Structure 1
């Protein structure tokens, strides 16, 4: 297969992409061959590496309103509702909902997903179901599973044993939730136990950390310190970190430097973070999102997650990582031209670094032909329009296609009408110099 006249992110000239045996075999401005079994004309559209959802909860997706709606919109009520829903979980229920949400994500260009799965359940029903899902979806996406103690490792009966059992069954990463433990001391032990398991099982770590508006919640620094002590640099992720939004600037400056030194990744989740945080504020209301812009400037690797898709914490969403990136752009004041280009990295190359898949990710000769052809000419336009993902390929095999919507405007007296594309004419195209 050859994809003709494709635009790659941060590359000025158009290129042709040749795919053979499921890999990119040649990337050049003009490939002269007529032996390809299939040719796709990109016509200057953006071809991107597949999107990555670095943080989602597939065990809880599509449960909004079950058994009741989150009327306060708070994180704590969401956790309470989920605890009421958990007893009715079944193997088939979890699989059916997770597989449907994965279908949504893949159709929109997401081929790598990291899902946290609640292991505060003596039967580990959701985990057993998602372990099967992980195998069943390998042809369309790669799924990583995090053992996530939703109710705490030390504040839930047999929490330590359940975490260990989850790793024995095959979880890819160790999770944690230090800020939700009963006391700060137990929170520190939560982090330390996660590291002990990581060392024992040789796993990476991804903990929910400081997901609160409380400026005194400071477990992210504990994670960074433990990372340095354990020599786990590059293998540790702190998810959410919303308390960072409320930290004193002097302390935040120190923390950013420590995270960079320890090479601790941070994952922000714009949809849930902006909905759940700031609920106890009057006005002005905090946005409650980690300091993405400042983290990047400090050299910290940052990725984005969808987090929830129609569940007790976030009632909306359809699994579109480009929409999550657009929201992050708005919330983090990343509207400069180069900043907009960087926002796309948060769901592609930066996220690949978090998932540690860089060796097989990206549009480069020799790497698997995983890519998305968007109905837009640039990252700028993709984040403005949230366009159709025309073609989605995994290993050189087309796994999803989308036909774009068509809008017609009919003025009085016009029979046919004129098409509205919402695109700038070529002469008005946006660039860094404009």
Structure 2
């Protein structure tokens, strides 16, 4: 296959990208040839080619459950956890039910150019059927998507009577990443202990770490400093991710300045969830209502890796979502005051290269000779217009094969000007 007259994201000019089997064989200046008459050539007419989108934070075992057994009226994180706990008691789902919901959500993601996903899985259920289901899903979707599974003690590592035992069992079963939720523990001391335990287990089983960290508007919720400090002491910061960290939006600037010195040394990753946290946070505020997002712009300016994720597709925490990460980027840029030109034209890094770093994808990712022929094409020739127009993915290519093709909408306007 040859992708002719392609614009590579972030680069000037047009290029011909030759794919041989599952590999990018060569990238050469465009010869201005038309693909007519060559069955293996696709003329992109300057459309942008970039590596596949990366979803760094989703909950596939929760997907498509919004409204059962009830809707989240307060819109808060904590009511979402309550509803999920109630649902497990009332709705007797089988492993197959969970698989089918997850597969439906994955098809939405694949449609929108996502080929790498990190999904959190609730391991507070003693049966661990959610983890079993997603372990099977992970294997079944390998030809089209790479999936990482985070073992998440959703009801608290120590708040749940068997939380620690279930978390370790989940890691032995094959979960890729150690999760945690320290701000949901009964006391600050238990929250600190849960963070330290997560890192201990990561070292023991040679796993990555991704903590739901300070997803609350409480300016005194400071588990992030514990996570960063412990990761720094152990020298494993590149394997550690702090998700949400919404309390950082409420920290005073003097404390935040000190915290940033630790964050830069620790080299941990951050995931912000603009859609979900704009919906969930500030629910206990009257006015002014907090935005509920971490300090994305400041973290990036400090050289800290940040990626954007969706978090949910129709579940007790977030009632909307369809897997489209470009929508997440646009909303995130607005919410984080990042609508200056320079941030707009580099914004897709938040759901590509930055996400790949978060997931620890070190080889074969990117539009480069010798890399895997995993690419997407979006319907624009401009990085700026990609964000302004929410350009759709028109091709998703996996291992040298087109797995998704979307024909752009055509509009006929009957107006006199």
**1:409: how far off?**
2.0
**1:36: how far off?**
6.5
* Distance of 2:314 and 2:136 partners within structure 1: 22
Number of the residue aligned with 1:161: 165
Q: Are 1:388 and 1:403, in contact at CA under 8 Å, matched by a contact in 2? A: no
Q: Are 1:334 and 1:343, in contact at CA under 8 Å, matched by a contact in 2? A: no
Number of the residue aligned with 2:266: 262
Trace 1:234-313 onto structure 2 (pairs within 5 A).
234-313=238-317
* Distance of 1:130 and 1:142 partners within structure 2: 12
2:338 match: secondary structure: coil
The superposition leaves residues 83-129 of structure 1 with CA deviations (integer Å, 9 ceiling, x where unpaired) of: 11123232011101100000000011000000000000100010000
1:55 match: secondary structure: strand
Does residue 126 of the first structure (1) align with residue 130 of the second (2)?
Answer: yes
69, 72, 76: which is aligned to 2:71?
69
* Distance of 1:217 and 1:342 partners within structure 2: 32
* Distance of 2:108 and 2:167 partners within structure 1: 29
331, 336, 359: which is aligned to 2:335?
331
The superposition leaves residues 32-83 of structure 1 with CA deviations (integer Å, 9 ceiling, x where unpaired) of: 9999651111111111111010000000010010111111111111111111
Number of the residue aligned with 1:52: 54
The superposition leaves residues 137-171 of structure 1 with CA deviations (integer Å, 9 ceiling, x where unpaired) of: 00110000000010111110111110010001000
* Distance of 1:173 and 1:117 partners within structure 2: 10
Q: Are 2:5 and 2:16, in contact at CA under 8 Å, matched by a contact in 1? A: yes
* Distance of 1:30 and 1:381 partners within structure 2: 22
222, 229, 235: which is aligned to 2:233?
229
Q: What TM-score do the two structures reach when normalised by structure 2?
A: 0.97
The superposition leaves residues 217-248 of structure 1 with CA deviations (integer Å, 9 ceiling, x where unpaired) of: 00000001110121112110000000001110
**1:411: how far off?**
3.3
The superposition leaves residues 8-52 of structure 1 with CA deviations (integer Å, 9 ceiling, x where unpaired) of: 111111111110021111011135999965111111111111101
Instruction: Compute the RMSD of aligned alpha carbons.
Output: 1.5
Does residue 18 of the first structure (1) align with residue 22 of the second (2)?
Answer: no
1:407 match: secondary structure: coil
**1:131: how far off?**
0.2
Q: How many residues align?
A: 413
- Listed as ranges, the gaps of 5+ residues in structure 2 are none
The superposition leaves residues 363-402 of structure 1 with CA deviations (integer Å, 9 ceiling, x where unpaired) of: 0000001111111112211111122211100111111111
Trace 1:377-416 onto structure 2 (pairs within 5 A).
377-411=381-415
* Distance of 1:358 and 1:37 partners within structure 2: 33
* Distance of 1:104 and 1:257 partners within structure 2: 39
* Distance of 1:77 and 1:146 partners within structure 2: 22
Q: Are 1:321 and 1:347, in contact at CA under 8 Å, matched by a contact in 2? A: yes
1:372 match: secondary structure: strand
Number of the residue aligned with 1:428: none
Number of the residue aligned with 1:95: 99
Number of the residue aligned with 1:429: none
- Listed as ranges, the gaps of 5+ residues in structure 1 are 413-417, 419-434
Does residue 216 of the first structure (1) align with residue 220 of the second (2)?
Answer: yes
2:238 match: secondary structure: coil
**1:260: how far off?**
1.4
* Distance of 2:299 and 2:232 partners within structure 1: 18
* Distance of 2:166 and 2:31 partners within structure 1: 55
* Distance of 1:360 and 1:85 partners within structure 2: 41
1:98 match: secondary structure: helix
* Distance of 1:380 and 1:63 partners within structure 2: 36
* Distance of 1:121 and 1:150 partners within structure 2: 9
Number of the residue aligned with 1:2: 2
2:327 match: secondary structure: helix
Number of the residue aligned with 2:356: 352
Number of the residue aligned with 1:421: none
Q: Are 2:10 and 2:346, in contact at CA under 8 Å, matched by a contact in 1? A: no
139, 145, 148: which is aligned to 2:149?
145
Trace 1:411-422 onto structure 2 (pairs within 5 A).
411=415
* Distance of 2:277 and 2:230 partners within structure 1: 25
Q: Are 2:5 and 2:32, in contact at CA under 8 Å, matched by a contact in 1? A: no
The superposition leaves residues 171-219 of structure 1 with CA deviations (integer Å, 9 ceiling, x where unpaired) of: 0000011111000000000001101100110111000000000000000
